[in-house]
A and B are shown apart, each in its own frame.
Chain A
């Protein structure tokens, strides 16, 4: 009996990959530990090693093949009959017979993204009628930085692994090659220090982009962000602006537990002197990042790791800019308003499709910017729908939803036909166990149920 070698999952979020190179051919004897193939994910090229001794008998997937699903049989080898190796057919534990060794490009400790079933997301209205180009959020962010760095010598990026490593999440890929190490700077692991240093550089008339490997690590630096970057303009009577962008993945990734899964939207949006944006689509990611880099104020730019690999149409122009402070109606509707930002926009749109089947037309607003908040857009929508659901991945207590709810209460109380409702992450530190994590994260069905309740159609509650 032969052993099957299956396409391994090289991260918990990987669903498919490119089999870029076979390092063995039919007939080769391999021993456990030999590198047999190279596989490319969207983040890295990894080597795969055999975990058993034997001879390669069959190669089923040729090198250069892309979109090879995790768990697919890629080769067979002769081996010990007593042991059936390989990934289970559900693909849930594909590492069983082929283990990735030392990641060449993916940080071992870096959190990884959750799998997304859908590749193409529901298109939304863009204020753009020119040519578009399909690209991932990751590429859009990179292009935004590259374009702004080309047009302004004062723009530079610093952070952990942004240069030679090409970015822990490959967002800064290629920037070192184009701009050199004067402007693409690897820092030591020293968030408090390099954040303060970048703030000083901004005072010194440069325009830094600071990448946090994840926003969880920005807590080490929050004093410099809030006390130095945000407040100095005010404390100096308007003399000392701080043009700086703090960017990086925010919120829950997948299975990385409490210290690496947190949404900082509400933390930073709380502070006067900061702008806070959290785009969902690649077009907004690009347009808002360009705005953020040009902005004379400190901007917190919250990305989402799960979204990095998602593709969207993006205006094919360097003039594409999305102003900070404007929300976007991504789906028109008449019955209930749903606000969301970042990854929750996709879930809100899914929920809206589901609600539509039940005869409820939801209006979905992508907030895009949390501070300043486009409250007028929300209020106008509520005046039309008379119902409001606020969605966010973060904790409910003093969250973005609390703020939106209160502002709508102040500005459109008479228009409300139902209590404002929140769909949020649960009020617990993120658990590691898969089932508990799933219970913690808000789902599109939670939005559906909340909307039904707001419409007094309490199906399933």
Chain B
């Protein structure tokens, strides 16, 4: 019997940071200590998880493409901290962090990376293709930009069902040049869909810097022609992200239509594991790490606020344990049974 990820092991990291039903009056109100700690924990979990994934890739345990989120943690954690129960999330292929922030099990994600039965997609999806209906996470899409109309469709469904949900649709600065993004902006605005387009501008579309690929690098203005409000945010500052998220959420949820958040962020690693990142200097990366690291930033704040160092230590220990256990499961779980080859192609229909 393959070891399955235990449902109870990881608490939904976003839950503790979730605001009350009405997000009103929260902007510019510093979250309480509990919320700050939870966000620190969520970012640290992503960081440690990704570091481990990088190691496992180096050991040949993870195959194919593997896109790490290290450096960008504040974006998804800040935004997911203001998500509500039935909001949906969709993103592209740099997706491990989003899944963890949605409360998906670290073990299930890691086991998918290793292509094992215990993975979220039974090993059939891999790094770029994971989903959780239970957590309203709709992927994990490997085609640049394809998740954007899908996200609008999730927003369409929220509106159609009138369930109050908002579709968080993440895309990168590279995807921001895809045609279907603008087809989507048009429809989302035309039909006032509850969608937040989060452009994670990490400044490099694979190896091409934004100025080299993009005419008009202020990506938050890309919706202006469609009447979509856009805002640029320091994506390395989780509190700024959270504040912007509260504002955008309130806007989209109240029926005013879509909202664009451009998160200025930075990935420390290459585009994928096989990317030597020769298109930027070591100094540039080091400067970001040293001066703008989102986790260090929040950690300093927590300490200034009087949080005991032991509390942070405790978090560190807890996270190490989660990642280790996830790794064990990811390595011990068997590969999918050959019988899985022909399952899940079509849903059987009873005649």
Inter-subunit contact A196/B180 (CB<8 Å): yes
- Tell me, yes or no, whether A336 is within 8 Å of chain B by CB: no
Decide: A205 and B157 in contact? CB cutoff 8 A. Answer: yes
Nearest Cβ on chain A to B285's Cβ, whole angstroms: 32
C-alpha spacing A233/B143, complex, angstroms = 16
CB within 8 Å for A197 and B187 given contacts A203-B153, A234-B124: yes
- Cβ of B152 and Cβ of A239 under 8 Å apart? no
Decide: A227 and B183 in contact? CB cutoff 8 A: no
6 A-B pairs with CB atoms under 8 Å apart are A196-B153, A199-B153, A200-B156, A201-B154, A227-B142, A236-B344
Would you give the shortest CB distance from A319 to chain B, in whole angstroms? 14
Bitwise, B307-351 to A at CB < 8 A (1) or not (0) is: 000000000000000000000000000000000000111110101
| In-complex Cβ contact of B349 among A201, A202, A240, A324 (8 A) | A324
B contact residues around A324 at 8 Å (CB): 349
Residue A182 is within 8 A (CB to CB) of chain B in the complex: yes
B110 to chain A, nearest CB (A): 15
Q: How far is the CA of A338 from the CA of B304 in the complex (A)?
A: 82
Interface residues of B in 180-198 (CB under 8 A from A): 180, 183-184, 186-187, 190
Contact of B179 among A182, A192, A228, A275 (CB under 8 A): A192
A204 touches B183 (CB 8 A): no
Bound-state Cα–Cα, A275 to B122, Å: 23
Q: Cα distance A240–B88 when bound, in Å? A: 14
- The answer to whether A193 and B180 touch across the interface, beta carbons within 8 angstroms, is yes
Does A238 reach chain B (CB closer than 8 Å)?
yes
Q: Are B125 and A237 neighbours in the complex by a CB distance under 8 Å?
A: yes
Which among A182, A199, A236, A323 is the interface contact of B149 at CB below 8 angstroms? A199
B272 at the interface (CB under 8 A from A): no
B271 close to A (CB within 8 Å): no
Interface: A156 (CB within 8 A)? yes
Q: Is B90 an interface residue (CB 8 A)?
A: yes
Partner of B125 from the list A195, A206, A236, A272 (CB cut-off 8 Å) is A236
B69 to chain A, nearest CB (A): 20
Q: Does B133 contact A (CB under 8 A)?
A: yes
From B121, B141, B152, B347, contact of A241 by CB (8 A): B347
| Pairwise interchain contact A238-B344, C-beta atoms closer than 8 A | yes
CA distance A223 to B122 in the complex (A): 24
Apart from the given pairs A201-B156, A233-B347, A238-B343, 14 other A-B contacts in the complex at a CB distance below 8 Å: A192-B179, A193-B152, A196-B149, A197-B153, A199-B149, A204-B138, A204-B154, A204-B156, A204-B158, A235-B131, A239-B121, A240-B131, A273-B345, A323-B351
Question: Which of B88, B141, B152 lies in contact with A197, CB distance below 8 A?
Answer: B152
Chain B nearest CB, measured from A180 CB (Å): 12
Q: Tell me the complex Cα distance, A384–B53, Å.
A: 60
Q: Say if the beta carbon of A32 comes within 8 Å of chain B.
A: no
**A232 vs B120: C-alpha distance when bound (angstroms):** 13
B223 proximal to A (CB < 8 A): no
> What is the 8 Å Cβ interface bit string for chain B, positions 132-156, against chain A (1 contact, 0 not)?
1100001111110010111111111
**Contact flags A305-319 to B (C-beta < 8 A → 1, else 0):** 000000000000000
Q: Does B263 contact A (CB under 8 A)?
A: no
The answer for the CA separation of A190 and B141 in the assembled complex, in Å, is 21
Tell me whether A224 is interfacial, beta carbon within 8 Å.
yes
- Write out, one digit per residue, whether chain B residues 204-238 have a CB within 8 A of any chain A CB (1) or not (0): 00000000000000000000000000000000000
A78 to B130, CA, bound (A): 76
Which residue from chain A places its CB closest to the CB of B123 in the assembled complex?
A237
Chain A residues, Cβ within 8 Å of B343 = 238
Pair B138/A240 contact, Cβ less than 8 Å: yes
Pair B124/A228 contact, Cβ less than 8 Å: no
Of the candidates A200, A234, A240, the one whose C-beta lies within 8 Å of that of B345 is A234
A187 within 8 Å of B by Cβ?
A: yes
The residues of A that contact B167 with a CB separation of less than 8 Å are 200, 204
Residues of A near B152 (CB, < 8 A) are 193, 196-197, 200
Shortest Cβ distance from A229 into B: residue: B150
Please tell me if the beta carbons of B154 and A203 are within 8 angstroms of each other in the complex: yes
Contacts of B141 in A (CB 8 A): 228
B119 at the binding interface (Cβ < 8 Å): yes
* Chain A residues engaging chain B, CB cutoff 8 angstroms: 156, 182, 187-188, 190, 192-206, 223-224, 227-228, 232-241, 272-273, 275, 295-297, 323-324
Give the size category of B's interface with A: 35 or more
| Nearest residue, chain B, Cβ from A208 | B153
| Inter-chain contact B138/A203, CB cutoff 8 Å | yes
* Contact A224-B345, Cβ < 8 Å, known A201-B160, A236-B121, A237-B125: no
- Interface pair B345/A233, CB less than 8 Å apart: yes
Asked if B146 and A228 make an inter-chain contact with CB atoms under 8 angstroms apart, the answer reads yes
Task: Give min CB distance, A414 to chain B, whole Å.
Answer: 28
A198 touches B346 (CB 8 A): no
Inside 8 A of A192's CB, which chain B residues have their CB? Answer: 149, 179-180, 183
- Asked if B129 lies at the interface with its beta carbon under 8 angstroms from chain A, I say yes
CA distance A237 to B129 in the complex (A): 10
Q: Report the nearest B residue to A296, measured CB to CB.
A: B347
Q: Does any Cβ of A come within 8 Å of B290's Cβ? A: no
Query: Is B7 part of the contact surface with A, judged by Cβ < 8 Å?
Result: no
Q: Say whether A236 contacts B158, CB under 8 Å.
A: no
Per the bound structure, the CA–CA distance linking A199 and B150 in Å amounts to 6
A296–B348 CA distance with the chains assembled, in angstroms: 8
Max chain A Cβ within 10 angstroms of own Cβ: one of B121, B129, B150, B160: B150
Residues of B within 8 A of A323 (CB): 349, 351
Instruction: Assess whether A200 is in contact with B347, with CB atoms less than 8 Å apart.
Output: no
Q: How far is the CA of A205 from the CA of B88 in the complex (A)?
A: 12
Q: Once the chains bind, are B129 and A236 in contact (CB under 8 Å)?
A: yes
- The answer on a CB contact under 8 Å between B122 and A238 is yes
Interface: B24 (CB within 8 A): no
For residue B161, CB closer than 8 A to chain A, the reply is: yes
Q: Is the CB of B153 within 8 A of A232?
A: no
Interchain CB contact under 8 A, A195 and B157: no
**Is B150 in contact with A194, judged by CB distance below 8 angstroms?**
no
A204 to B179, CA, bound (A): 23
Q: How far is the CA of A195 from the CA of B150 in the complex (A)?
A: 9
The answer to whether B119 touches A237 (Cβ under 8 A) is yes
Chain A residues whose C-beta falls within 8 Å of the C-beta of B143 in the assembled complex: 223, 227-228
How many angstroms between the C-alpha atoms of A325 and B143 in the bound complex?
31
Contact B157 A237 (CB under 8 A): no
Contact A182/B160 with A196-B149, A197-B152, A233-B347 known, Cβ cut-off 8 Å: yes
Question: Chain B residues near A193 (CB, 8 Å)?
Answer: 149, 152, 180, 183-184, 186-187
With a CB–CB cut-off of 8 A, which chain A residues contact B129? 232, 235-236
In the assembled complex, the Cα of A195 lies from the Cα of B346 at a distance in Å of: 20
Closest to A202 in B: B153
Query: Which residue on chain B has the smallest CB distance to residue A189?
Result: B183
